[in-house]
């Protein structure tokens, strides 16, 4: 009797584990594909992104492209920089935008400003230390 319970629990745990790795929901599968496409685009893996794009909605890919165009990034940067009393969130946003624009030194300086305001927050700390590590690469 004890063996049956143990086997039942093991089978149940296996099924739950498989469902977490391979979701049944089409929405979850689509969202996962979209996130992988975002990552490929952010890392300039254009061939991989092109292949993945076939399975995605045009609206999603166009919206992402428009949000990350240089002119849009410049507009958001100017808007964030124009704020008088910048918070850690503002500096973090400035840092991310500058990084996307290829201005790595300025990005690191903005991350340092965010870290100076709020060194406790995990996302700000991660941004600060990753920007420092990026600049120190040979």
Domains in the chain: boundaries: 25-68, 70-136
**Residue 114 CB: number of other CB atoms within 10 A?**
26
* Per-residue pLDDT at 21: 61
pLDDT at 130 > cutoff 60 = yes
Please list, in sequence order, all residues whose beta carbon lies within 8 angstroms of the beta carbon of residue 81, skipping any fewer than 6 positions away. 94
Q: What is the CATH number of domain 70-136?
A: 1.25.40
How far from 136 is each of 46, 75, 108, 133, CA to CA, in Å? 26, 29, 11, 5
Across the range 26-41, mean pLDDT stands at 83
What would the pLDDT profile of 59-92 be if each residue is shown by its tens digit?
A: 888 888 778 788 888 999 999 999 999 999 999 9
Place of tokens 């990753």: 130
């Amino acid at each position: 009797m004890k063996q049956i319970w143990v086997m039942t629990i093991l089978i149940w745990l296996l099924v739950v584990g498989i469902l977490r790795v391979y979701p049944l929901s089409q929405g979850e599968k689509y969202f996962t594909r979209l996130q992988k496409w975002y990552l490929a685009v952010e890392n300039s893996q254009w061939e991989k992104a092109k292949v993945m794009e076939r399975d995605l909605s045009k609206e999603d890919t166009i919206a992402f492209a428009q949000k990350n165009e240089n002119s849009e990034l410049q507009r958001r940067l100017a808007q964030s920089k124009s704020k008088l009393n910048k918070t850690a969130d503002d500096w973090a946003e400035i840092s991310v935008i500058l990084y996307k624009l290829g201005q790595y030194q300025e990005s690191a300086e903005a991350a340092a400003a965010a870290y100076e305001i709020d060194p406790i927050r995990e996302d700000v700390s991660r941004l600060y230390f990753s920007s420092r590590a990026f600049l120190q690469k040979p």
